[in-house]
Amino acid sequence: MVVSLSDGSFEELNPETIRIGKENVMYCRVKQGNHHARFSRKAYYQLSEYIEHDSKNDRYFITLDSQYYDLVEGLPTENGGSHVR
């Protein structure tokens, strides 16, 4: 899955880097893992089509290429950065 960043560049999404921040805002790592990018509302809704809930273990995850990736809570530790459009 490729993401479009606010600086006009495109990157392959690393689903292992997706984090859920305050008020369910989603972030991922970009620029070789050096920066956090915040998902725009549009990008969030596009990604949400892949989100599943495991009610037995009360966890959310996405499945890409037959692999499961847990969506964990955690805020970025830096300010600024790119946005996923």
Q: What is the per-residue pLDDT for 24?
A: 86
Whether 79 has a pLDDT exceeding 90, the answer reads no
Give dist(CA 15, CA 6) in Å, integer.
19
Structure confidence at residue 56 (pLDDT): 96
- The count of other CB atoms within 10 Å of the CB of residue 60 is 14
The candidate with the shortest Cα–Cα distance to 24, out of 57, 4, 8, 47, is 47
pLDDT for 80: 54
Query: Is the pLDDT assigned to residue 84 strictly greater than 90?
Result: no
Structure tokens at 8: 């006009």
Q: What pTM did the predictor assign?
A: 0.79
Q: Tell me how far CA of residue 54 lies from CA of 14, 62, 71, 73, 75, in angstroms.
A: 21, 11, 11, 16, 22
